[in-house]
Structure 1
Amino acid sequence: MKSLLLSLVLLLIWTGSGSAQKPRRCRTPPLLSGSMSVSARDGQDWAFAKYRYDAIGQRIRVWEFGTVESRSFHLNMLFLFREGVVYSMDYRNKTCQKNPLHTAFHPSNIPHNASLLAQAVLGGSSAPGEGLLVNSWTGDVPLTGGKYMATVTEFGCIPVSTLYYTPQAGWVTTTYFNAVTGVEDPEQLIPPAFCDDAAAEDEELDFFSGFMADSVL
């Protein structure tokens, strides 16, 4: 069965003022940890995930659980873009699947051709600490025929939410929360020892099809 297709990893400083300099396209911190929720098909498919993002080493770790087509699933995956490998790990059974990773690493940022949609304060703006100043950007993805709206914090360029549309998947909504700059445990971005002898599968994956593994429980 298929896991929920996670949206692009594209896209909190507190402020009591809605004024700021003209928003600029920005890049997410190179090391970031946090959580996110994803929904698609009008909420029929959903998932929650923890992630570790390392733009320096070009690595992403994801722990995900949710429901797709009324079936529950969980995934534990490590994407190593420099090595061209993705690991699907099962710590309970100490098993590991290794697939070629058929995609290049793209740092999380606001693309150069994105258009500013709006700057807004989430929450309140009447007193310090009541709100969060964010910028929303929009653009097209010609390769997939898709479009997106990405919202990030004005200060720090921390992802807040994305709306991503393709004709095949429809609208996918991702909300990011509990973000922390840095990765507290770098070993989470290293394959566990029981993956050392994992046989390489023939099927190639890209970052999106990696989340479509047969990991339904």
Structure 2
Amino acid sequence: MYAAITLFVLMCLTATTHAEHHQPCHAPNMTGFMTVISLKGEIRAFGAFTYESMGKKLRFRSNESHPTNTSLGLDLLMFFEEGVFYEIDSKNQSCEKKSLQSTLEPLDIPDDATFLSTLHSGSPSIEGEGLKINAWTGSMPELKGHYIMSVTMGCLPVSTLYFTESTSFLISNTDVELEIKDPDLLVVPSFCLGLPVEETPEGTVNSFLNEFM
């Protein structure tokens, strides 16, 4: 796995494609599965996601359908546009409401991202055996890091590499479908309504990525 990741990074960093005419696209509504892996090889989370593009809302529930010993059990409802998120515990009918110091989305290309190159995963010459993707990069000032995101030509996110001072992660997406199967997943549960936003400790940067650190 390390070799594949290194090769991908090198390909991106050494790409010579000029990108003056490329503008970041935006992901559509989606459901699918997301895997978060540290570059040390540890599976930090695997779970289902539901994403609403216009409202910039994300529900991610991990370690339910395919639990593993190393995977975190999380149920997150993120409102990136509003700058808040909920950590939900459905079993105990409780949750915590927190502010987002970094609203970087794991499924959408930021408007200030820089185009790197167009790449082919697999074989471009054999029908059905290759995937054409665009690679984008950018910085994460709040997290003191940067990212490399790959998306299909239709702007479906394939994978993203995140590099910070303390750790690095690979987020990959599979079985993506262009629909929101259960809109209720993007609604705040009744037992979470009316909660105040918890105070963020000094020096803490709440973000989607930070949940896996």
Which residue of the partner structure matches residue 24 of structure 2? 26
Q: Which amino acid aligns with 1:88?
A: E
Contact 2:113 2:136 in 1 (8 A): no
Q: Could you say if the C-alpha distance between residues 38 and 113 of structure 1 is closer, same or farther in structure 2, counting changes exceeding 3 Å? A: closer
Q: Select the structure that is richer in helix.
A: 2
- Percent sequence identity is 30
Q: Which amino acid aligns with 1:50?
A: A
Which residue of the partner structure matches residue 163 of structure 2? 165
The structure 2 residue matched to 1:37, chosen from 35, 38, 51, is: 35
Contact 1:28 1:159 in 2 (8 A): no
Contact 2:50 2:60 in 1 (8 A): yes
**CA distance in structure 2 between the aligned counterparts of 1:71 and 1:113, rounded to whole angstroms:** 32
Q: For structure 1, list consecutive stretches of 5 or more residues without a partner in the other structure.
A: 1-21
Give the secondary structure class of the aligned counterpart of 1:211: helix
The structure 2 residue matched to 1:177, chosen from 154, 158, 174, is: 174
Q: Which amino acid aligns with 1:114?
A: T
Q: For structure 2, list consecutive stretches of 5 or more residues without a partner in the other structure.
A: 1-19
Alignment of 1:144-155 (within 5 A): 144-154=143-153
Which residue of the partner structure matches residue 195 of structure 1? 192
TM-score, structure 1 length as denominator?
0.69
Which residue of the partner structure matches residue 3 of structure 1? none
Higher relative contact order, chain-length normalized (CA < 8 Å, sep 6+)? 1
Which residue of the partner structure matches residue 46 of structure 1? 44
Alignment of 1:1-217 (within 5 A): 24-65=22-63, 73-104=72-103, 108-109=108-109, 111-117=111-117, 119-154=118-153, 156-169=154-167, 171-196=168-193, 198=195, 200-203=197-200, 206-208=206-208, 211=211
Contact 2:101 2:142 in 1 (8 A): no
**CA distance in structure 2 between the aligned counterparts of 1:87 and 1:78, rounded to whole angstroms:** 5
**CA distance in structure 2 between the aligned counterparts of 1:198 and 1:153, rounded to whole angstroms:** 39
Deviation digits for residues 132-169 of structure 1 (CA, Å, limit 9, x no counterpart):
11122334445544232221112x11111111211222
Q: What is the CA-CA distance between 1:75 and the residue it aligns to?
A: 0.8
**CA distance in structure 1 between the aligned counterparts of 2:200 and 2:104, rounded to whole angstroms:** 19
Q: What is the CA-CA distance between 1:62 and the residue it aligns to?
A: 1.0
CA RMSD of aligned residues (A): 3.2
